[in-house]
Chain A
Amino acid sequence: MREGGPVGRRSHRDASKPTRATGAIRTSLVLVVVALSILALASVATPIAAHAYLSESDPANAEQVDELPDAVTLSFSGDGVQVADVTVTDPDGEVISGDAAVDPDDARVVSVPLEDADDVEGMYAVDWEVLADDGHTTSGSFFFSVGDEPLDRDAVLESYEDDEGPDEELSMLAVGSKGLVLVALVGLVGGPITAAVAVYPVVRRLDSPARPTRVVDRRLTRVLAGASVLLFASALGLGLARAASIGPLSIETLGLFLETPLGRTWLVQLAAAIALCGVLAAAVLGALSRRTWLAATAFGATVVAVTVGWTSHSATAVDRLQGGAVDVAHVGGAGLWVGGLVVLALVAVPALRATDREERTAAAAATVRRYSLLALSGVTLAGATGFVLAAWHVPSASALADTLYGRSLSAKTLLVLLALGLGGLTRFVLLRRLESPTGSIVTFARTVRLEVVVLVVVLLLSGLLTSAPTAAVVGGDDGPSTAAIEREGDDVAVTLLAIPAEVRSTAEGDDRFLLQAEEPIVFEVAFSNDPGGSDAVEATAVRDGDLLDSDRTVRVLADAVNGDATIEFELEETDDGTYATVQSLPDDGPWALRVTASPDGQFVSEWFDATVVPSGDYDHGDHAVEDVDHHDDHDHDDHQVGATDSPFVIGLQFGAIAVAVVGSVAVVLEAFRFGRRG
C-alpha cells in the first residue's frame, strides 16, 4: 500500500504507538464483546417462563361442569392484559356474558360474569380478544359444556375450526409504523456512535479546503434530525394504531388507551422522540456543540429503544427484564451495523467526495476499517440476540413456514445474509481496492448504498415481525389437523381418524397417533371392504369411499400403556357413514387404542398406537415420539410448557452461543489488526 496522503502518513508514523482513539475503540469493543457474550449465554441458559396466550381457564377448554358457573376466568401467560373483550354464548346462541374485567391484582387474569341464565345444558362458546402488554391483539375461543351429555362431534369440530389462535391479520398502519420506528431508531442509535468512532476521527485529520468536518456536521445533523422526525411520526402512528385496536379511534378511546401501561409507555416514547427532534433541530441550527448533540441523540435513542424493548414480544412473553434487555441489545446491535452504514452512505461518502482523490480513498479506507470494527460488533450482538429471540418465539422448524412470524423471520434472515455478503464484499474486497493506488470510492459507495437498502427492507420486515403474533403463540396451526391410520383385516379395512392429531412414524416404521392430553379429540372410525389401499388413508378418501355399517356398537378401548387409565367409549354413526365420538385422554405417554365392531356382521378388533403429549406441548411439534414413549415415569403434573425444548430450539440456542463466541473472536482479531495498523 502506498503511503500517499496525510492519513496514510499519520498511520505509518504512529504504527508502533496506537493513538488514543484507537485505544479507546479497542477497549470499547472488548467491552462490547464481553457484554455480548454474557448476555447471550445468560439468555440462552434461562428457560422461557411463558408465552403470551391463554394458558388456562375456568371452566377449562372442553370441561364438563354440572352447573353453569357464575363467571368464566381466563388466565393468560406473559405479563398481562391491557384490555379484554370476552363473549360467552349459551347453547341457544344467546350471549350471557357481562363486561370482562382485568384483575387489578394480576393483569394476567380476566374474568367475565355470566348472567343468571336457565342453566341450559349443552356447549357454551367463549370468544375472547385481548390487547396484550406488547401492544398486540390476540384472540381465540374455547368451549365448555354443562351437564353430562357427551360432547357433540360437529360442535367440537366447529369449535376447532373457529379456534385459529391469535389473529394473524395485522393493521398495516401498525406494521408500517413499527417498521419506520425501527428504521429511525437504528439510525439514531448507531449514527452518533459511528460518527464519533469512525467518521470524525478520520475527517478531522483531513487537510482539505472543503472542510469535510463541517460537511459531516451539516449532513449528519440533518440526517439525524430527519430520523428523529420519522421516529416521532411513526411512533405517533403506532400508538394510534394500538389505540384503535380497543375501539373506533376517538378521544375516548385514546383516553382509555393512555390509562393502560402500554399507553403510558407510548407517552414516554413520544416525549423522547420530541426531545430528540428538539435537540437535533438545535444542532442543525448550530446551537449545540457537536459533543452535546451526539451524546443527547444517543441517549434519547436509547430511551426510545428501551420503551420498544419494554413492550416487545420478549418482554411480555418471556420476562420483562430479560426479554426487554435482549430486545434492546438486538436493536443496539442493529444500530451499530445499520445505523453506522447509513452514516457511511449518507454522510461520510458525500463528505469525502469533497476531498481530493488521494485523500478521499485513504480516508474512505480508514473509515471503513473503523466502521468494520463497529459493524462486526453490531452483527455479533444482533446475530446472537436474534438467535435467542428466535429460540423463544419459534418452537419448531415447521413454524418458520407455517406462520406469518416464521415467514417474516425467514425472509429477514435471508436478507440479512445478503447484507452480510455485501458487507463482506466491502470489507475484504473493496477495502483492498480502496487502499490500492487505483482505488475508487464509486464502487464502494454503490455497494454501501445497496447494503443500506437491503437493511432498510430488513428493518421494515422487522416491523412486520414484531407486530405479528409469535410462532410460539400461533403454533403454525391453521385449524384442526386430521390424522388417519388404516388397519387391514382379511376382508375389512378399519380406519381410525383422530382430530386434532398427527401421525408420526416410529423408528421401526410403525405409524402412531400424536395426541394432546386432556384435549377433546374427535375419534372417527370407518370400515371399508377394500383392503390394500393406501397406508395413509385421508379423511376425505374415507368419507368418499364405500363404507360398511357395523351390526353392533362400535367401541374404542383406550389403554394407557404405562399409565393408570383404561377408557372405553362408544361411537355414534354419523351422516357420513362413519362412527364418531369426542373423548379426551387424561394422561400423557404411550396409549393403545382398540376398535371393535362388526362391519357387515363380521367381528373386527384392531389396535392402534398413540403417543399422548402433555397439554400445551402439542404445538411444539418436534416432539420425538420415542422420547415420549420412553418417559415411563414422566410426571405431567410437573410439566411446564416449553420446559422441554425441541431440537430446533436447542439448535437455535447453540446458534446464539456460536455466533457470540465466533463473533467475539472475530471482533478481537479485527481490533488487534486495527491496533497494529495504528
Chain B
Amino acid sequence: MSDPVKRRRFVQGVSGGLAIAVAGCLGGNGEGNGNGNDEHDDHGSDDGDHDHGETGDGEGSEGFAYAFAPDAVAIVDPDEGEVVDVLTDGIDGRDWGDTQITHDYAQIFAIDDSLNQVLVIDTDSREIVSEVDIGPGATHIYHPNDDEIWAHADDEGTFYVIDTDSHDVAETVDAGLEGEGHGKLLYHEDFGSTGYATNVNDPAVHVIDLEAYERSDSIELGDEGGTHYKAYSPQNGLAYFEYGDVTAVVDTDANEIVDELDFSGGMYLTPDEERMGVLDGDEIRVLDVTDDDNEEIGSISIDGGPDALRYYEADGTLYGFTANTMTPEAVVVDLDELEEVTRLDAGDIVRPDDAHHLHRSGVSGGGYFFTPADADGTVAVIDMTERELVEQVEVGDGVDTVQYVGDSGTGYTGRTR
C-alpha cells in the first residue's frame, strides 16, 4: 500500500469547479488539521520523477509554512516573507487535497487526488518520503491519534487509516451508508475512542469506533439530505453537525440530538473555546458555546464571500481573519466588537464558471495568517499582531494549500486535533 517514492507519474487535471461543487464546503472544518484547507479547487497536469533527497537540506521546517502548488511545494519563511526552499522532484501536476501535520510536526501527510495517494513529507529533511495509495476522491485528512492518519475517500465513503510510522494502510473504515459521499471526521480527546463522521449522502451522523475501525452506530437526523460541517465545544460537551439548512446539536455523552440551530455553515471554535463562529453565507454568526443554550451573541456581515476563519488575540482583543472567495482580500474582524476592522490584499483565486461553491483556505501559525491565491500563484503572509500584509510570496500557479509547521492553533486549542 505504501509506495516507496520511485515512480514517474503523470497527472491529468480536471476542472477546478467540479471538485469545489462536489466538496460543497464553504469553510474550514474548524476542528482540524492545521491547514484550514478542507476543499480544493486546483487541478493541473504534468509528470514527474520522484527522485527525492536532492532538495532537502535537512535544516528542519519549524516555523515555516509549506505551500502546495501542482508542480512544486514551496517552504515559506513568514518572518522574511520569502521562499527558503522548494520541493519539485516528483511533484508535477498534483491535485492537492487536505494536508495534515503529525502531532510532533515531524511529518506532513498531503492528499493528492490525481493519483489517489497521500504523500508523506519529512519536515526535517524536507523530502517526500513515501506515497501511500488510498481510495479515490479523497479530500479531508485527520490525525485522531498519534499513530494514525485518517484520510476520507469520498468516492467510497471510506476512511483509510494510515500508520504514521510504516506509512501502510493499516485499516479501512466504511463510514458512509451508501459506499460513497464526501465526508469528515470529528474527534476530540473528550470522546475517547469514539469519533463522529459526517457524509453528504447520509441524513445521519455516524459514530465511529476508532479502535475497532468500524461504524458502530448512526444518529439519525432525518429521512433525506446529508451531513457536512462539524464542530465540538468542550465547554458544553456538545457536537454540532451541519444538516442541510440547519445545524443539529448532539450530546456526545448520550449520542442524542438535543437541539437544532436554524442556520448552518462552517464552524470555528475560538481558542478560549467559549465562542464559535458559524460562516452562514456572508455572515459570521457568533455563538456562546459555554452552555447548552447556544445563544447567538451577534453577527458580523462580511462582503466578498468569507471563508476559513482563524483567530488571534492581540492587545486584549480577539480578532478573526478570513480569506474572501469573491474578492482578492483577507478581512480582519473584531470578535469582541463584532465589526470589520480592515481588509488586506491577499491575491486572487480561480473562479471557474461552473463552480457552485468557491473555497479559499486560510491557515494560522506563529502569529501569521496564510492564504493562497491560486490564480496569482502567491501566498499572502499576514502579520496577525499588526494586522498587515507581510508579503505576497510567489510560489507557483495553482498554489491552493498551506500547512504551517508548528502550533497553528488548529482547532483553536493549540493542538493538532
Say yes or no: B10 contacts A605, CB within 8 Å.
Answer: no
Residues on the B chain within 8 Å of A468, using CB: none
A208 within 8 A of B: no
Could you say which of A561, A564, A604, A607 contacts B12, with CB atoms under 8 Å apart? A564
Known: A552-B158, A552-B172. A607 touches B7 (CB 8 A): yes
A19 within 8 A of B: no
Q: Which of A287-295, A414-422, A591-599 contacts B (4 or more CB under 8 A)?
A: A591-599
A559 to B45, CA, bound (A): 11
C-alpha spacing A604/B172, complex, angstroms: 11
Which residues 358-392 in A have Cβ within 8 Å of B in the complex? Answer: none
A564 to B174, CA, bound (A): 33
Q: State whether the Cβ of B154 lies closer than 8 Å to any Cβ in chain A.
A: no
| Interface membership of chain A positions 562-602, coded 1 if the CB is closer than 8 angstroms to chain B and 0 otherwise | 11111010000000000000000000001010101010000
Flag if B169 contacts A557 (CB, 8 Å): no
With A557-B115, A605-B1, A605-B169 as known contacts, state yes or no: A594 contacts B9, CB within 8 Å. no
Give the chain A neighbours of B10 by CB distance below 8 A: 559-566
A-B contact count (CB 8 A): 62
Assembly CA distance A209 to B113 (angstroms): 101
Residue of A562, A603, A607 near B47 (CB, 8 A) is A562
Q: How far is the CA of A564 from the CA of B44 in the complex (A)?
A: 10
Q: How far is the CA of A557 from the CA of B115 in the complex (A)?
A: 8
A566-B1 contact given A555-B136, A557-B116, CB 8 Å threshold: no
Judge whether A553 is part of the interface by a CB distance below 8 angstroms: yes
Q: How many residues of B contact A (CB 8 A)?
A: 24
A596 contacts B135, C-beta separation under 8 Å: yes
Closest-by-CB residue of A relative to B158 is A552
Contacts of B12 in A (CB 8 A): 564-566
Known contacts A566-B114, A603-B169, A605-B169; A561/B135 CB under 8 A: no
Q: Is the CB of A561 within 8 A of B136?
A: no
**B156 interface residue, CB < 8 Å from A?**
yes
Task: Tell me if B8 counts as interface (CB < 8 A to partner A).
Answer: yes
Residue of B nearest to A594 (CB): B133
A596–B160 Cα distance when bound, in Å, is 12
Residues of B within 8 A of A605 (CB): 1, 3, 133, 169
- CB-nearest residue of chain A to B45: A564
Cα(A363)–Cα(B133), bound, Å = 86
Q: How far is the CA of A281 from the CA of B281 in the complex (A)?
A: 106
Q: Which of B7, B156, B169 contacts A552 (CB 8 A)?
A: B156
Check if B136 sits within 8 Å of A592, measured CB to CB.
Answer: no
| CA of A590 to CA of B114, assembled, Å | 18
Which of B7, B8, B136, B160 has a CB less than 8 Å from the CB of A603? B160
From known contacts A552-B156, A561-B47, infer whether A598 and B172 are also in contact, taking CB-CB under 8 Å. Answer: yes
Q: State in angstroms the CA–CA spacing of A560 and B8 once bound together.
A: 9
Residues of B within 8 A of A563 (CB): 10, 47
B115 — which chain A residues lie within 8 A by C-beta?
557, 559, 566, 594
**CB of B11 within 8 Å of the partner chain:** yes
Q: Shortest distance in angstroms between B97's beta carbon and chain A's nearest beta carbon?
A: 16
Partner of B11, one of A552, A553, A566, A603: A566
Q: Which residues of B contact A557 (CB under 8 A)?
A: 115-116, 136
C-alpha spacing A399/B1, complex, angstroms: 41
Using CB atoms, name the residue of chain A closest to B160.
A603
A659 nearest CB across to chain B (Å): 45
Docked CA distance A592–B131 (Å): 14
Task: For residue A60, give the distance in angstroms from its CB to the closest CB of chain B.
Answer: 22
Considering the complex, give the chain B residue whose CB is closest to the CB of A602. B172
**Chain A hits for B7, CB < 8 A:** 561, 592, 607
Measured in the bound complex, the distance between the Cα atoms of B12 and A565 in whole Å is 5
Q: Is the CB of A592 within 8 A of B156?
A: no
**A139 CB to closest chain B CB, in angstroms?**
39
CA distance A612 to B10 in the complex (A): 15
Q: Which residues of A contact B172 (CB under 8 A)?
A: 552, 598, 603
**Closest partner residue, chain B, to A562 (CB atom):** B47
Please, how many angstroms separate the alpha-carbon atoms of A553 and B172 in the complex?
A: 13
Is A562 in contact with B45, judged by CB distance below 8 angstroms? no
CB distance from B267 to the nearest CB of A (A): 31
Of the candidates A559, A592, A603, the one having the most CB atoms from chain B within 10 angstroms of its own CB is A603
* Residue among B8, B10, B133, B135 with max Cβ neighbours from chain A (10 Å): B10
Q: Complex Cα distance A598/B47, Å?
A: 28
Q: CB-nearest residue of chain A relative to B9?
A: A559
**Chain B positions within 8 Å of A552 at CB level:** 135, 156, 158, 172, 174, 179
Which of chain A's residues 539-555 have a Cβ closer than 8 Å to chain B? 552-553, 555
* A607 in contact with B11 (CB, 8 Å): no
Query: A553 contacts which chain B residues (CB < 8 A)?
Result: 156, 179
In Å, the complex CA distance between A555 and B137 comes to 12
- The CA-CA distance from A552 to B134 in the complex, in Å, is 12
Tell me if A561 and B156 are in contact (CB < 8 A). no
A211-B189 Cα distance, complex, nearest whole Å:
123
Tell whether A596 pairs with B116 under 8 Å between CB atoms, given A564-B45, A603-B172. yes
A179 to B10, CA, bound (A): 56
Residues of B within 8 A of A594 (CB): 115, 133
Measured CB to CB, the closest approach of chain B to A554, in angstroms, equals 11
Q: Give Cα A552 to B9, complex, Å.
A: 25
In the complex, chain B residues whose CB is within 8 Å of the CB of A603: 1, 160, 169, 171-172
Given contacts A566-B114, A596-B135, contact A604 B9 (CB under 8 A): no
Give chain B nearest CB distance to A389 CB in angstroms: 42
CB pair A604–B1 under 8 Å, yes or no, is: yes
Residues of B within 8 A of A566 (CB): 10-12, 114-115
Annotate A217-261 by CB proximity to B: 1 below 8 A, 0 otherwise.
Answer: 000000000000000000000000000000000000000000000
Q: Mark B1-37, 1 if CB is under 8 A from A, else 0.
A: 1010001111110000000000000000000000000
In Å, the complex CA distance between A408 and B116 comes to 53
Of residues 49 to 66 in B, which have CB atoms within 8 Å of A's CB atoms? none
Q: Across the interface, which residues of B come within 8 angstroms of A592, CB to CB?
A: 7-9
A596 to B7, CA, bound (A): 17
Q: Which residues of A contact B171 (CB under 8 A)?
A: 603
**Closest approach, in angstroms, between the C-beta of B324 and any C-beta of chain A?**
32
Q: With the chains together, A555 CA to B133 CA distance in Å?
A: 12
**Contact between chains at A568 and B136 (CB < 8 Å):** yes
Which residue of chain B is the closest to A609 with respect to CB atoms? B7
Contact between chains at A561 and B1 (CB < 8 Å): no
Bound state CA distance, A590 and B158, in angstroms?
A: 31
Which among A557, A596, A598 has the highest number of chain B CB atoms within 10 Å?
A: A596
B residues near A596, Cβ cutoff 8 Å: 116, 133, 135
CA distance A98 to B171 in the complex (A): 59
Among residues of A, the one whose C-beta sits closest to the C-beta of B6 is A607
Q: Which residues of A contact B136 (CB under 8 A)?
A: 555, 557, 568
Bound complex: CA of A590 vs CA of B171, how far in Å? 32
Task: Tell me, in angstroms, the Cα distance from A451 to B116 when the chains sit together.
Answer: 70
Chain B hits for A607, CB < 8 A:
3, 7
Complex CA distance for A314 and B46, rounded to whole angstroms:
44
CA distance A560 to B46 in the complex (A): 10
Question: Which residues of chain A are near B135, meaning CB under 8 Å?
Answer: 552, 596
Q: How far is the CA of A590 from the CA of B49 in the complex (A)?
A: 13
Check if A562 sits within 8 Å of B114, measured CB to CB.
Answer: no
Q: How far is the CB of B232 from chain A (nearest CB, A)?
A: 29
User: Which residues of the other chain, A, contact B3 by a CB distance below 8 angstroms?
Assistant: 605, 607
Bound together, the chains give a CA A321 to CA B7 distance in angstroms of 50
24 residue pairs A–B, Cβ–Cβ below 8 Å: A552-B158, A552-B172, A552-B174, A553-B156, A553-B179, A555-B136, A557-B116, A559-B11, A560-B47, A562-B8, A562-B47, A563-B10, A563-B47, A565-B12, A566-B114, A566-B115, A592-B7, A592-B9, A594-B115, A596-B133, A603-B1, A603-B169, A603-B172, A605-B3
11 additional A-B pairs beyond A557-B115, A566-B10, A603-B172, beta carbons within 8 Å, are A552-B156, A553-B179, A561-B47, A564-B12, A565-B10, A566-B12, A568-B116, A596-B133, A603-B1, A603-B160, A605-B169
Spell out B's residues near A (CB within 8 Å): 1, 3, 7-12, 45, 47, 114-116, 133, 135-136, 156, 158, 160, 169, 171-172, 174, 179
A-B pairs with lowest CB-CB distance, top 4: A605-B133, A566-B12, A561-B8, A603-B169
